A and B are shown apart, each in its own frame.
Chain A
Amino acid sequence: MARPVVELEGCTKDFGGVRAVDALDLAIFEGEFLSLLGPSGCGKTTTLNLIAGFVEPTAGRILIDGEDVTSRSAHLRGLGVVFQSYALFPHLSVFENVAFGLRERRVPAAEIRRRVGDALELVRLDRLGRQRPAELSGGMQQRVALARALVYRPRVVLLDEPLAALDKKLREGMREELRAIQRSVGITTVFVTHDQAEALGLSDRIAVMSHGRIEQLGAPREIYERPASRFVADFIGASTVLRGRALGRDLVALAPGLTIRVAAGEALRVGEEVEIAIRPERVRLASGPGEGAAEARVEGLIYQGSMTEVTARLADGQRVLVFVTEPAPMPLAPGQLVHLQLPPDAFMVLA
């Protein structure tokens, strides 16, 4: 990562009385794949529209390559955009759709032919140039949209939930393909999604957004393993959040007689209320009582093939989610008493 290609400085966007984006600061670096991840209404698409120039910020600045483009209209920003609905021009052939950006740039006809051909080859659609978009499948339309946004070599490509309209199987295939294409072209990419698996699998960095702000910005592993807030812990992957009081620098009491050891990065302040979270795949079933094991009663079981999702209730009433991978160490039934092994280093202390 060298210098920032896109910078948002204190960007705010209000729609009527609603604040969609709230004093957002974000720098996107050369060649990186950055995801804006969050639930609907978190401001991620508005952020994308701000970068694209489709909406103007109520306050703040937008820079591309260090140049202030805040009030520059979209057609002068030279970015590539892939829309959720693909927004392919229905009256133009696949070839003309891809050629659109080149024609607007007055590229000579021979070069247009060559570059559109290359772009269609990149997305493996080189034989379909004469078709109309409506004649293609969703996955193919998606690839045309990608080719159209890449063919004029924009500084940055913005992807607005590009996989959301595809069915599951296709989506997973396209995900790999998208990453491979982005790597081979080496283009700076901003990817908007509400799907954490997509964000985790594709990104160099993820900005988790909520209520128009960035809750956490970091590498996928960092976001998953060290969520900075309860919101991030909840939104990324499944997790169990437990409330308790710090008894010592690494000891949390959930209830009298129920203490948990936590290997936190920094020492806990004794007497303080804390929230700690643990991923369900880190919880193990222990054969009996022992160090770091807590007693719990099985409440629910959801068999999912490769694993079983177990909900168990601790003595103090708080629920813990456990993924028991197959083969299960013991037969399980609702109402059964089990011992949960809660490794200290698996706990995340939430701010």
Chain B
Amino acid sequence: MILRLIVLALAAFLTVPTAIVIAVSFNPGAILSFPPAGFSLRWYVNVLTYPQFQRAALNSVLVTAWAVALALPIGTLAALALERARLRGRNLWAAALLSPLVVPGVAAGLGFLILAASLGLLRSRSVLIAAHVALVLPFVVRSVWVSVRNLDPALERAAASLGATPWRTFRRVTLPLLRPGLFAGALFAVVVSVNEFVVSLFISNRVTEILPVAMFSYVVNYTDPTIAALSTLFILATFLVVWAADRYLGLGRVFLQH
């Protein structure tokens, strides 16, 4: 009974803020007040027609797509190297690859900012993409690494004995068997990249900024429920991605397998 109450309280604690944001997004008035005084979709219209949000949304899609597309092959090779290559100080390499998980965003952002400034790349989107690759890489490496560990080395030997070149063995045996890890890694990467804020704030400008940064700028200047509406859309999108992944790619099985 006590346990049930604790679970209930925890669930409420975790979901109530989200519920409040969703409720506020339908408020007809131009203030962020709760409970909402009525029901209106005007802030949703505002979200979809505000030019800076449109530009930022496009930036988000571009940055995330590039970051994931780059992080997947890099992370896969890194995971293979960590497991297979007889690396000296393997734990140190692993720690370096996973370090973005523990480095504060402000520190990382400052680092990227100074690096970008010294390279004269501050106006370019490439720095943003590079930073996102670094930030999502730990997630890709982690999940692919698990798949690499589950891979029976005898399978690759078997492929070789059957006449497959190393490249053909990788294409026909290794890669297909790493697929669960790749899917899970890609999913994490998308969610992390789309929601990334602190580091991106340091290294983007009005032209290159992604959605979370644009949202922050908006909140600084205006206090109407537009931002609640956008947050609601964001939550919905993230939820849909995770749900679809679970439904069609068997995310649950991927995790259970670990």
Residues of A within 8 A of B (CB): 52-54, 73-81, 83, 85, 87-91, 100-101, 104-105, 148-149, 152
Q: Contact between B159 and A90 (Cβ–Cβ < 8 Å)? A: no
Q: Contact between B165 and A75 (Cβ–Cβ < 8 Å)? A: yes
Given the known interface contacts A75-B163, A75-B165, A152-B163, the answer about A91 and B157 at a Cβ–Cβ threshold of 8 Å is no
- Give the shortest distance, in Å, between A83 (CB) and chain B (any CB): 5
Interface positions of B from 133 to 164, Cβ below 8 Å from A = 152, 154-155, 157-164
Q: Contact between B161 and A75 (Cβ–Cβ < 8 Å)? A: yes
Q: A75-B169, A85-B152 are in contact. List 18 more A-B contacts (CB 8 A).
A: A52-B157, A54-B161, A74-B160, A75-B162, A75-B163, A75-B164, A75-B165, A76-B163, A80-B161, A83-B154, A83-B158, A89-B158, A101-B162, A104-B162, A104-B164, A104-B168, A148-B162, A152-B162
Q: Contact between A74 and B152 (Cβ–Cβ < 8 Å)? A: no
Residues of A within 8 A of B154 (CB): 83, 85, 87
Write out, one digit per residue, whether chain B residues 165-187 have a CB within 8 A of any chain A CB (1) or not (0): 11011001100110000000000
- Give the shortest distance, in Å, between B2 (CB) and chain A (any CB): 43
Residues of B within 8 A of A149 (CB): 161-162
Q: Contact between B177 and A81 (Cβ–Cβ < 8 Å)? A: no
- Give the shortest distance, in Å, between B47 (CB) and chain A (any CB): 43
Residues of B within 8 A of A54 (CB): 157, 160-161
Closest residue of B by beta carbon distance from A151: B162
- Give the shortest distance, in Å, between A198 (CB) and chain B (any CB): 21
Residues of B within 8 A of A (CB): 152, 154-155, 157-166, 168-169, 172-173, 176-177
Residues of A within 8 A of B173 (CB): 89
Given the known interface contacts A85-B152, A85-B154, the answer about A91 and B177 at a Cβ–Cβ threshold of 8 Å is yes
Closest residue of B by beta carbon distance from A49: B157
Q: Contact between A100 and B155 (Cβ–Cβ < 8 Å)? A: no
Give 4 nearest A-B pairs by CB, closest first: A101-B162, A104-B163, A87-B154, A87-B158
A-B CB contact pairs (8 Å), 15 listed: A52-B157, A54-B157, A54-B160, A75-B160, A75-B163, A80-B161, A85-B154, A87-B154, A100-B159, A100-B164, A101-B162, A104-B163, A148-B158, A148-B162, A152-B163
Residues of B within 8 A of A79 (CB): 161
